[in-house]
Amino acid sequence: MNLSLFRSALLPLLALVCAWSTPALHAGVADQVVRARVAGVDVVAYKTPVRDVVTFTGSLPAGDSFSPDSNLVIATLVGGMLDQGTTTRDKFAIAQALDAVGAELAFSVDETMVSFSGKCLRKDIPLVVGLLAEQLRSPAFSEVEFAKLKKQIAGRLQRALEQTGYRANLSFAATVFPPGHPNHEPSTEAFLAALKTATLDDLRAFHAKFYGPAALTLVAVGDIDPDALQAEVAKAFSGWSGGVPRPDYPRTAPLTDLDRDQTVFMSDKPNVSVILGQASGLRHSDPDALPLRVATAILGSGFTGRLMATVRDQEGLTYGIGARTGNDTFADGDWRISANFAPDLLEKGLASTRRELMSWYDQGVTAAEVERTKTNLAGSFQVGLATTNGLASTILATLHRGYPLSWIDEYPQKLNALTVEQVNTAIKRHLNPDTFVLIKAGTVPTVAK
Amino acid sequence: MNPRLLLFLALPLSTASLQADSAPPVTAAAPAVAEGYTHVKTVGGIAEYTLDANGLQVLLLPDHSAPVVTFMVTYHVGSRNEVTGTTGATHLLEHLMFKGTEQFNRTRGNSIDQLLERVGARYNATTWLDRTNYFANLGKDHLEAYIAVESDRMRNLWLREDDRRPEMTVVRNEFEIGENNPIQALDKEINAAAFIAHPYHHPTIGWRSDIEKVSIEKLREFYDTFYWPDNATATVIGDIDATAALALVKKYYGAIPRSPHPIPQVYTEEPVQSGPRRVTVKREGRLGVVGIAFKTPAATHPDMAALQVLGSILTSGKNSRLYRALTDKNLTTSASADIGFFRDPSLTTFYASLAPDAKHDEVERLTLAELTRVKQDGVTDTEVASAISQLLASSAYARDGAFAIASNLNECIASGDWTLYVTLDEAIAKVTASDVKRVASEYLDEDRSTTGWFIPLNAPESAAPAISR
């Protein structure tokens, strides 16, 4: 395995910041987008100077929250069957068609959406759009592939369960969100039981009910001719109907009866993954969400965030620590600090983390910190949108969050308009460290196995 | 998956090069005229210069597709330059490079972190076997400020015991996070067994005792030995014209003297391996892993292109040989190939992550059978054409922005020949089925292999997480 050591794994944190950033210097993104409904599909095209390469992404609402009450894994299985063959060609033929031109097309399922993403060269757009339509519209649902997929998913789950970070995330989501909430994670036993009992008839029924163009979005960025793209979509998706609108999840009341200090004991894990946080009750588009994100960045984003500057740089207690809001695109999300500690530094690390958290919470942030963070976020807009990937994912996320595309261009102004009072008010209004849940996953000392 | 993993999976080198017919907009067809520089060559739109004053190598690739620039400095020092007692020193020094200088530091409010985060830059540093690099992707208006700080720390770094102590525990935690991962733990053991003389034997992060005990004096010695302009490459990619970029680099690096001593070269060669080697790692876990590594040549070797195609045919996508033989039969959750792309001969390793109930010996036997089939019967023209298409398209995708270009170019710089960024694709395009069969026969030699098994202890009956409160 070729491994390169980073000074820090903070890039993902910075990328998170970028994900909700938009470009200061790409003024007029909304004006340059060519958007049309074609064969029922919301097609969003954005041409950039990059030569030959096209990045595409998109989604439709058929994620896990749409699974029937009788079986929670149906949406995942349907999404997994999309690249296991169609009614006209098997999975090897699909792979060969893509491989022959070096194109990429992949599907994934989250709590709300089934998503797709890929890349191709400009000349191969007709092939890829055609395959995308074929795979979404007419999966084969073969018995043989279904049996294999079930085993693959069970195997991948076992592999994930070896990771302290995955286990901490799983426990956190299972604790702070109630059953029925889209961000709630079911138990592993329930997931595996559902996997066993799922049938192909369940999958076919789900596909018939939820797959269709009603809320299907396709975003393409790069070396594209928007008119030609629309023509290909019209041809490939012609005659398809159905689908459902994006869900409008009800707000949930915060849970009160929680186990607030949990240990997931795992042997032979010399690093402990820690999550400390709560359900935020906020969606990305709520008025207080932006000030809380700025406040959170001051606490836990980048090397100069308070947590990294103290717990790592001054005290040397961790390789990585940060804070973020998240899982708030369609439903109310969460707020968390994530960190890594050696078992023998765990208690000290937690004490330092709580000290910084409480200082931030009790005393708030300063006007200078807010101004600096605004500049940081405005700059990361520019950098984050310098690639076709960055543009495509930001455009899709903007639409998912229910914003008009003009939000991308207006974002710097919204950011600049924030005051330190708004930022500090958002902290107090939505967070309560006394009710935070603490998850520790790894070889945690002094815990009975 | 925890998004805060400490180790970064390096970009496959198959994505490292630039296809001449689909390069980003380039304005460097003719070399820029710049006093104080010698133009060395221009390949694939990338121009190489030498700063006459001190021997700094400078690479330029103007790309005006977005108003951003990536500036990167690659030092030609990595864990390959370490010996017993100093393993991990290159990487620890990389961390200490952010602690400041007299001119730029946190107290003054102008440290590199403060500067770059204020402007929203994407920045970091990485260490690997052959090199250490420092980079930032940022708005073009901030380039000069970054070069000023980056150049200052080349020779003026604070190296203080008060900084080493807390940073050592930071790095030790990075080491611990790596140890959490069964495949990374196995990979260390395979490399340590495969190389008995060459420094690729030890992991870049170092052995735990060396991380803990290396002194600040040793780190200072490392810095004073390797951090000089004539042991570095500065790369500028993005929305800036060549003349302006060269002027900026000269303004800030031009006054730094050349190294007062010759840069030490690694002369240790790995003895020829004459029989298969095996290692086993037993730890708590759920699923097993089989890794089979073979000695393969340096990145600059002419066979590298055919090895890339071979790796793709064996493991890339649903039509690959190992997917069909293993994953599609529910024996593995994944199978991958890691084609070593380094300055010295290294390893090509095939990893098979076992599915529940799969047996190590069966997966190893089937993997070797597939390799033998390629050696004996070769591959089809269709497979070769498909692999070439995938590799060349990946190359085009990896030119999506200055940052991505810099990341891949960096590995070619480290290999000792940056032009591989351009020429490797040209070579891949010419690979034939007979080339693939030949390199498979030559390098997939069991007598020059090291096989590793990760054996999970106490694998649970069910996947239920054990939660205690």
- A336 vs A357: CA distance, rounded Å: 11
Buried b (16+ CB within 10 A) or exposed e, A373-397: bbebbbbbbbbbbbbbbbbbbbbbb
B20–A contact, CB cutoff 8 A? no
Say whether B284 and A268 touch across the interface (CB within 8 A). yes
pLDDT tens for A277-335 read 999 999 999 999 999 999 999 999 999 999 999 999 999 999 999 999 999 999 999 99
| pLDDT over threshold 80, residue B463 | no
- In B309-422, the DSSP E strands lie at 332-339, 346-354
**Percent of chain B topping pLDDT 70:** 91
Residue A384: the pLDDT is: 84
Q: Are B428 and B434 in contact (CB under 8 A)?
A: no
Q: How many Å lie between the alpha carbon of B196 and the closest alpha carbon of chain A?
A: 18
Q: Which of B15-19, B171-175, B233-237, B360-364 has the lowest mean pLDDT?
A: B15-19
* Angle (nearest 5°) at CA B410 between B407 and B415: 140
CB contact under 8 A, A387 and B66: yes
3-state SS assignment for residue B459 = coil
Amino acid at B235: T
Beta strands per DSSP E along B368-468: 449-457, 467-468
Residues of chain B contacting residue A270, judged by C-beta atoms under 8 Å apart: 176, 179-180
User: Would you state the pLDDT for residue B400?
Assistant: 86
What local confidence, expressed as pLDDT, does residue A198 receive? 98
- Residue B40 to residue B106: CA distance in whole angstroms: 39
Residue A7: predicted pLDDT: 54
State how far the Cα of A143 lies from the Cα of A141, in Å rounded to an integer.
7
What are the residue ranges in chain A where pLDDT is below 50? 1-3, 9-27, 447-449
3-state secondary structure of A164: helix
β-pair partners for A340: A273
When pLDDT is cut at 50, 70 and 90, the band that residue B8 belongs to is very low
Give residue B433's Cα distance to chain centre.
Answer: 28
> For residue B191, what pLDDT is reported?
98
Q: Name the closest residue on chain A to residue B293, using Cα atoms.
A: A1
- Residues of A (40-99) whose Cβ lies below 8 Å from B: 48-53, 55, 91-92, 94-96, 98-99
pLDDT of residue A49: 85
Domains of chain A plus CATH, in order, are: 12-237 (3.30.830.10), 261-448 (3.30.830.10)
ipTM of the complex: 0.89
Quote the pLDDT of residue B29.
54
Q: How confident is the model at residue A256, as a pLDDT?
A: 84
As a whole number of angstroms, the distance between CA A175 and CA A1 comes to 35
Closest in B114, B205, B390 to A304, CB measured: B114
pLDDT at residue A426, as a whole number: 98
A320 touches chain B (CB under 8 A): yes
pLDDT (tens digit, 9 = 90+) per residue, B391-429? 999 999 988 888 899 999 999 999 999 999 999 999 999
Give, as one character, the DSSP assignment of residue B271: P
- pLDDT above 70 (res B466): no
Determine, for residues B6 and A9 on separate chains, whether the beta-carbon distance falls below 8 Å: yes
pLDDT at A113: 98
Q: What is the pLDDT of residues B147-206, one digit of tens each?
A: 999 999 999 999 999 999 999 999 999 999 999 999 999 999 999 999 999 999 999 999
Nearest CB to B463 within list A10, A192, A267: A192
| Residue range B353-391, pLDDT digits in tens | 999 999 999 999 999 999 999 999 999 999 999 999 999
Give the E-state strand segments of A52-138 in sequence order: 53-60, 104-109, 114-121
Name the closest residue on chain B to residue A145, using Cα atoms: B328
The CA distance from A338 to the nearest CA of chain B, in Å, is 9
Amino acid A25: pLDDT: 40
Partner residue facing A162 (CB), from B203, B286, B397: B286
Q: Do A7 and B98 lie within an 8 Å CB cutoff?
A: yes
**Residue B461 pLDDT level (bands cut at 50, 70, 90):** very low
Phi, psi values for residue A240, rounded to 5°: -85, 140
- Give the DSSP H or E segment for B281: strand B277-284
B67 touches A382 (CB < 8 A): yes
Residue B12 has pLDDT above 50, yes or no: no
Closest among A190, A180, A144, A176 to A66, alpha carbons compared: A180
pLDDT at residue number B4: 23
pLDDT, mean over chain B: 91
Residue B333 to residue A159, Cβ atoms within 8 A: yes
User: How many residue pairs bridge chain A and chain B with CB atoms within 8 Å of each other?
Assistant: 330
Order across the sheet with B46-51: list the strands: B7-9, A3-6, B122-127, B132-139, B68-75, B232-238, B57-62, B46-51, B37-43
Question: For residue B413, which residues of chain A lie inside 8 Å, CB to CB?
Answer: none
Question: Which residues of chain B are within 8 Å of residue A9 when distances are taken between CB atoms?
Answer: 3-6, 8
pLDDT at A190: 94
Phi, psi of A87 (to 5 degrees): -70, -15
Q: Which pLDDT score, from 0 to 100, does residue A424 have?
A: 98
DSSP symbols for B11-73: PPGGG----GGGPPP---SSPPP-TTEEEEEEETTEEEEEETTT--EEEEEE-TTSSEEEEEE
Query: How many alpha carbons lie under 13 Å from residue B461 in its C-beta half-sphere?
Result: 0
Q: Are B446 and B281 in contact (CB under 8 A)?
A: no
E-strand stretches of B154-271 = 232-238
Query: A171 contacts in B (CB within 8 Å)?
Result: 465, 467
Element (H, E) at A275: strand A272-279
